[in-house]
Structure 1
């Protein structure tokens, strides 16, 4: 059963990341949801609640439970990189083992930030088959970085019915700046189709339970409100599909978009990441994302990675203590903390 909450998350963040419909964009909601799911597990209180509200009901569970079958190639890594001297909560490490490709590793953030960056980038490059070789740019890892939560994804699969190479030809494509010829594939295949709510959709099946859904607006590419409805209406049809080849690369800093969608406390003094570490100073500095997608006659290949960079903020003064003055008659209750057994109950009137 498809998760509507995950689609809502994907469309909302797409609006925030790619508001200019005249510019190309490509990103992985699965990868971002994976990294944010790890962040939610690291958080408590509003920090956790804000992330989960954006991901929607069952968001982290969807990432943990989604697999792609053979013969498709599918690789996922969910990695906690932590400084050697950062105390970690055992419960977080146990939970990490339940994530696909879950692992905890150490990196020399304070002693060698660039070396730590190289370690993380090399690991991401390995998972993504070198499609994302430099997720973290120079200077993104600092001496005050103490942890990085990373999701990396690779997917390669073939169409159930391939596009014949001989059918590919230059055909007109209407870009925002004018019409020009582009290499366009063509196939007649069993697919699923819907036309409603201002959109036409074609779902083209690929191996491993994957499908590519082409969403074609009736007019210009604008609001995405009708996308859920047209996806709900897909029905099996024989389709003659003409589709341009695609090769997209995209990178972005997600912090601003996430703040705009309600994930705020984790970036500031209200951050509470004590489900990851008892250190109260932890705060998210930035969330970095990169994605690559290629679509051709044989199938599709894509890779993506998302990194949540966690740093130790400057000393955060303890909040002012709550003042309690016991200066009038009161009760004293002595009990066992776990069972609640009351050993003594006293009423103090005149000490």
Structure 2
């Protein structure tokens, strides 16, 4: 397990470890069919070189591409009939990292479609290296925990291309967990799920369902992202009260709503950006250069606003933020989202990876992308935010397919939220709230 914790997001090079031959020679003792991740040994793959320092322009481009990928996913997952009007939280960064780990093994149309969906113009290895370098070191404190954990799980005896493993070792410091999907898919699935649950402090359970890891699975990639951050200025609990929240169906239930007035980065606009009036505000966290941005369309305009939102428009909204005195109310909210992302990725043009795959840069065996999943959770209270996400991709053998006057922003209607690294704009979490009381 590779843990890019807030205590040091850089992946320090370990001493020379076990090489690929150890993976190939792994016998029944490495089956890893127990109930905890610690039962599965991690085979270290020594990188041929130290990951180079990412070029700032490339880092900015990858961060912007990840944000655009997130907006695309938001549209795909919120599309009617199933997604319309529901609460939603996802991790663009988590899924982009999983696909960055998969991309160096792809060739031809499979690689082209994945790169296009990720809004990347880099070659696969460069994209992996930049993605792996994006999480910058943030010292862990009692006000901030930010941890990202990446893992590679392979079928015992699978001959994985050494160049592919070298890229993962260099970019992500990823070791290999040899398991026996073929003989014990249920035990292997428990190991994968337990590792993600542990990395997210128990917030993400059962990332992969029973039918998503099978005896045909040959390789699984996972990313676990955990954030616990306190606001720079907390809301006062005594000011929280029940206020109406106007949902998309026209009802207005009373929900627990926090309130504060103070100087915050704020913007508003209409027409020129997405054609609908909107307000936006940024709530900084106490440490780490992180913030939550709230984008609140005018009453009755949420559906049209979100449908018209794209990455350049999002950039212009966030770029318009400037300090103002703001009278803010915000409902507390806490919900989870579980998504099978196969349909969403197909909608974004990723088809060859499922239907006519070429992962010849990964292994000689004919393999295809069988499942892509994500579970995410977010909780916002007076004190701050706790959010977590688990993302996974399964690869298997081919089968069937004054101060100025305070402006007023009362968040009493559906809104979007974004948790991002303000240094490079990388979105850690993105979602929408249409009913704060819904689970």
State the TM-score, normalizing by the size of structure 2. Answer: 0.68
* 1:208 equivalent among 276, 288, 294: 288
Alignment CA distance shift 1:201-1:63 (3 Å): farther
CA deviation after TM superposition for structure 1 residue 239, in Å? 2.1
Which residue of structure 1 lines up, in the alignment, with residue 398 of structure 2? Answer: 313
Which residue of structure 1 lines up, in the alignment, with residue 203 of structure 2? Answer: 131
Which residue of structure 2 lines up, in the alignment, with residue 218 of structure 1? Answer: 298
Return the structure number with greater strand share.
1
Which residue of structure 2 lines up, in the alignment, with residue 278 of structure 1? Answer: 364
- Deviation track 1:276-298 (CA, whole Å, cap 9, x = no partner) reads 2122x100111111100111111
Which residue of structure 2 lines up, in the alignment, with residue 9 of structure 1? Answer: 69
1:193 is the counterpart of 2:266: yes
CA deviation after TM superposition for structure 1 residue 68, in Å? 5.9
Contact 2:146-2:226 at 8 Å conserved across structures: yes
Which residue of structure 2 lines up, in the alignment, with residue 69 of structure 1? Answer: 138
Contact 1:200-1:230 at 8 Å conserved across structures: no
1:246 is the counterpart of 2:322: no
1:237 is the counterpart of 2:330: no
CA deviation after TM superposition for structure 1 residue 227, in Å? 3.1
Secondary structure class of the residue paired with 2:363: coil
Alignment CA distance shift 1:311-1:261 (3 Å): same
Q: Structure 1: state its 5+ residue gaps.
A: 316-351
**Take 1:304 and 1:24, find their aligned partners in 2: how far apart are those partners?**
15
Alignment CA distance shift 1:77-1:162 (3 Å): same
1:119 is the counterpart of 2:204: no
- Deviation track 1:16-59 (CA, whole Å, cap 9, x = no partner) reads 01124411111111111111111212212221121111111366
Q: Which moves more between the two structures, 247-256 or 236-245? A: 236-245
Structure number with larger C-alpha Rg: 1
- Deviation track 1:86-130 (CA, whole Å, cap 9, x = no partner) reads 101112222212345633211110110000000000100111111
Alignment CA distance shift 1:297-1:97 (3 Å): same
Contact 1:185-1:243 at 8 Å conserved across structures: yes
* 2:343 equivalent among 235, 244, 256: 256
1:291 is the counterpart of 2:376: yes
1:56 is the counterpart of 2:119: yes
Which residue of structure 2 lines up, in the alignment, with residue 267 of structure 1? Answer: 354
Alignment CA distance shift 1:95-1:145 (3 Å): same
CA deviation after TM superposition for structure 1 residue 64, in Å? 3.5
User: Cα RMSD over matched residues?
Assistant: 1.9
- Deviation track 1:246-273 (CA, whole Å, cap 9, x = no partner) reads 10100011111111111111101x2111
Alignment CA distance shift 1:128-1:101 (3 Å): farther
Alignment CA distance shift 1:77-1:109 (3 Å): same
**Take 2:369 and 2:289, find their aligned partners in 1: how far apart are those partners?**
35
CA deviation after TM superposition for structure 1 residue 66, in Å? 2.3
Which residue of structure 1 lines up, in the alignment, with residue 107 of structure 2? Answer: 44
**Take 1:160 and 1:176, find their aligned partners in 2: how far apart are those partners?**
31
Secondary structure class of the residue paired with 2:152: strand
* 1:179 equivalent among 234, 238, 252: 252
Secondary structure class of the residue paired with 1:162: coil
**Take 1:162 and 1:314, find their aligned partners in 2: how far apart are those partners?**
53
Question: Which aligned runs of 4 or more in structure 1 are off by greater than 4 angstroms?
Answer: none
Which residue of structure 2 lines up, in the alignment, with residue 344 of structure 1? Answer: none
CA deviation after TM superposition for structure 1 residue 131, in Å? 0.4
1:105-116 equivalences under 5 Å are 105-116=177-188
Aligned residues between the structures: 313
State the TM-score, normalizing by the size of structure 1. Answer: 0.84
Alignment CA distance shift 1:21-1:230 (3 Å): farther
Q: Structure 2: state its 5+ residue gaps.
A: 1-59, 401-439
